[in-house]
Amino acid sequence: MEQTIFEHMETVRGITEKSIKRIPEEMADIIPEGFNNSIRWNFGHIAFVQEKLVFGISGEEMNVPKNYEQLFGAGTKPADWTEPPHTFDEIASVLTEQKSRIKTFLHGRMEHKLPSPFTNRGGITFYTTGEAFLFGFYHEALHMETIKQIYRSIAKQF
């Protein structure tokens, strides 16, 4: 079953990786009416949250750039950025590299208990590394849908 889960991660993340390569970076920072964040923020947020769900809440060192939490963490927004954000290429590299680290770390550890239960902002509590990791698929899909909606709403400007 673990191999099937990792294959699913490859599929989900593959969709995300193809999207970040297809969307022109000129669209990255436009926030259309009705949205809180940009396409760039959503891609960075996907990377940051998956890192936190797999490594951070397990008590492991997170291996994304140090400023990812300030730029892309829950509750952040581009309007509050005080430094230039990462490029699409930089975020794409993080998204791609993250997959192999996750596979290595989680191999044989899906059922391991977290150091302490983790409750996300939506009120869902995770007790094992596998539970948190699997929630990441849902989270990534939600943000990919938001990226698609933002893209559709601004594509006519380009």
pTM score of the predicted model: 0.95
- Band the pLDDT of 156: cuts 50, 70, 90: confident
Cβ contacts of residue 130 below 8 Å, gap of 6+?
5, 106, 109, 110, 111, 112
How many whole angstroms separate alpha carbon 141 and alpha carbon 102? 18
HEC string of 104-121 equals HHHCCCCCCEEEEEEECC
Q: Where are the domains of the chain?
A: 2-155
How many whole angstroms separate alpha carbon 46 and alpha carbon 25? 17
- Band the pLDDT of 158: cuts 50, 70, 90: confident
> For 18-73, how does the pLDDT look when each residue is reduced to its tens digit (9 = 90+)?
999 999 999 999 999 999 999 999 999 999 999 999 999 999 999 999 999 999 99
Q: How many CB atoms sit inside 10 A of residue 136's CB?
A: 20
CATH of 2-155 among 3.40.50.1000, 1.20.120.450, 2.60.120.430, 1.20.120.1200: 1.20.120.450
How many whole angstroms separate alpha carbon 19 and alpha carbon 111? 32
> For 118-143, how does the pLDDT look when each residue is reduced to its tens digit (9 = 90+)?
999 999 999 999 999 999 999 999 99
Q: How many CB atoms sit inside 10 A of residue 73's CB?
A: 14
Residue by residue, DSSP assigns the chain as -HHHHHHHHHHHHHHHHHHHHHS-GGGTT---TT-SS-HHHHHHHHHHHHHHHHTGGGTPPP-S-TTHHHHHSTT--GGG--SPPPPHHHHHHHHHHHHHHHHHHHTTTTTPEEEEEEE-TTS-EEEEHHHHHHHHHHHHHHHHHHHHHHHHHHHTT-
